[in-house]
């Protein structure tokens, strides 16, 4: 069970594109006081946890409302995740323009951390047939992954000084490679189940 937890944790961690999120967070908090920056990081983390758990646990209900099969959604969401991965690898994923007012939900939580591709992947992962224990393990791994990203945001200035913006860009590209493999797996599973 611990191996499953670690596997799911790693999958969710990279799904949240942590290094791109960190880069965006640094852009939005330039010149902000350290205390305000940490508080913003905590609020973003809480918003992302709530959003991710809702998407993960209510995927089947959403599919039922729209009459979409899980495998059809796997193929569509996998393709969307692959496009997101390609944009990360090519360095073309951009930070939305800054908005007035509170930014912890929009744009930092949604769509920067939980974008369309991440949303689709979470819905798919939550829609599979699982036991109560598996769902509990997945939920714990998901929360830990989000909290890991949140910890990175809290330590954003230190990480920025340590590896710099260029280092973050390189790590974002590596994340894109991992996401592309995850996207391919989701698409292949969807096609296999659809044809089978």
Structure confidence at residue 101 (pLDDT): 66
Per-residue pLDDT, 89: 92
* Consecutive 10-residue averages of pLDDT for the chain (196 residues): 91 96 93 94 97 92 84 92 93 69 88 92 86 93 98 96 93 94 94 87
CB 107 within 8 A of CB 96: yes
In this prediction, residue 93 carries a pLDDT of 75
pLDDT at residue 170, as a whole number: 94
Residue 147 buriedness (CB in 10 A; 0-12 / 13-18 / 19+)? middle
What's the rounded Cα separation, in Å, for the pair 88 and 71? 25
Map tokens 């949240």 to a residue.
16
* Residues 6+ away with beta carbon under 8 Å from 93: 20, 84, 87, 172
């Amino acid at each position: 069970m611990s191996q499953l937890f670690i596997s799911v944790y790693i999958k969710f961690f990279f799904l949240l594109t942590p290094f791109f999120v960190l880069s965006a967070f640094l852009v939005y908090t330039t010149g902000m006081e350290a205390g305000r920056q940490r508080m913003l990081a905590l609020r973003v983390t809480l918003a992302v946890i709530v959003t991710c758990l809702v998407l993960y646990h209510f995927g089947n209900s959403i599919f039922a409302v729209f009459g979409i099969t899980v495998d059809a959604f796997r193929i569509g969401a996998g393709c969307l995740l692959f496009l997101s991965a390609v944009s990360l690898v090519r360095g073309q994923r951009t930070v939305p323009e800054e908005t007035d007012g509170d930014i912890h939900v929009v744009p930092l939580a949604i769509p920067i951390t939980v974008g369309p591709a991440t949303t689709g992947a979470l819905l798919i992962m939550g829609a599979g047939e699982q036991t109560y224990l598996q769902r509990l393990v997945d939920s714990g791994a998901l929360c830990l992954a989000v909290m890991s990203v949140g910890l990175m945001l809290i330590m954003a200035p230190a990480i920025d000084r340590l590896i710099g913006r260029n280092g973050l860009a390189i790590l974002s590209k590596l994340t894109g490679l991992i996401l592309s493999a995850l996207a391919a797996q989701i698409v292949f599973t969807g096609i296999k189940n659809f044809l089978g």
